[in-house]
């Protein structure tokens, strides 16, 4: 998993509350267990009309936001089912940061396992960042994980909260498997000692 320290990108405003995982990646895209290729289905019911053509009113279809990599979203983002395909789709599309006042617990934890930073801010600060994001191509935001700060295009600073263990894992690029591999020498030493003491096992 890629390390996350400081990230700068265009922020897209999605001022919708209770965006659930089915809205993020609809059920018809869940047939795969691959983490790649799901970006095409991200928000597909919002991005596309029933005939398959683009919905020009949806934010990610507007020229200024086609390459957005930061999402500023409404409260309770990622609620609904526990599908890990939701962060997979966000990451595959190009998003590295999602900013909201609150996240569903399972989605929140899944983000960290996939190298996405879910940044929690106050309602007041979310309003400021939403205003920043509505600037179109000028909506460039920088997120500094080490300092836990978000910098707006005019130099404004917003602080965000994060569990320190999760923060360290993102900084070092470690998911659960990576955390286990860090302890591989100790595991190997234990197994070797255990085999010597109990050769019949």
From 3.40.30.10, 3.20.19.10, 3.30.43.10, 3.40.640.10, which CATH number describes the 6-197 domain? Answer: 3.20.19.10
Q: What is the pLDDT of residue 192?
A: 67
Alpha helices in 8-120 (DSSP H): 21-24, 44-47, 85-93, 105-113
pLDDT band at 187 (very low <50, low <70, confident <90, very high): low
Q: Find, among 59, 77, 69, 172, the residue nearest to 121 by Cα.
A: 77
In a 10 Å sphere around its CB, with 0-12 CB exposed, 13-18 middle and 19+ buried, how is residue 144 labelled? middle
pLDDT band at 177 (very low <50, low <70, confident <90, very high): low
CA distance 77 to 20: 7
DSSP H or E stretch at residue 69: none
pLDDT tens readout for residues 38-77: 999 999 999 999 999 999 999 999 999 999 999 999 999 9
Q: What is the pLDDT of residue 116?
A: 96
Mean pLDDT of 150-161: 94
Provide the 3-class DSSP secondary structure of residue 163.
coil
Write down the domain spans for the chain. 6-197
Whether the predicted pLDDT of 1 surpasses 90: no
Whether the predicted pLDDT of 180 surpasses 60: no
Full-model pTM = 0.86
Distances in Å between the Cα of 133 and the Cα atoms of 15, 17, 75, 175 are 10, 16, 16, 30
Report yes or no: 61 and 4 within 8 Å, Cβ to Cβ. Answer: no
Q: Find, among 118, 114, 97, 100, the residue nearest to 9 by Cα.
A: 97
Least confident of 6-20, 70-84, 157-171, 183-197: 183-197
Q: What is the pLDDT of residue 119?
A: 98
């Amino acid at each position: 998993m890629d390390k996350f320290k400081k990230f700068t990108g265009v922020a897209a405003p999605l001022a919708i509350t209770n965006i659930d995982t089915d809205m993020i990646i609809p059920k018809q895209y869940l047939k795969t267990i691959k983490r790649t290729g799901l970006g095409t289905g991200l928000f597909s019911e919002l991005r596309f009309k029933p005939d398959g053509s683009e919905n020009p009113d949806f934010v990610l279809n507007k020229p200024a936001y086609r390459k957005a990599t930061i999402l500023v979203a409404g409260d309770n983002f990622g609620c609904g089912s526990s599908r890990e395909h939701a962060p997979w789709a966000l990451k595959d599309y190009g998003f590295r940061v999602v900013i909201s006042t609150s996240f569903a617990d399972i989605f929140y934890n899944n983000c960290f396992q996939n190298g996405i930073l879910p940044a929690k801010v106050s309602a007041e600060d979310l309003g400021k960042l939403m205003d920043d994001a509505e600037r179109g191509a000028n909506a460039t935001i920088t997120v500094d994980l080490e300092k836990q700060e978000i910098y707006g295009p005019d130099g404004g600073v917003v602080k965000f909260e994060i569990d320190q263990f999760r923060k360290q894992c993102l900084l070092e690029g470690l998911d659960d498997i990576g955390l286990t591999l860090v302890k591989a020498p100790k595991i190997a030493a234990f197994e070797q000692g255990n085999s010597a003491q109990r050769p019949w096992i």
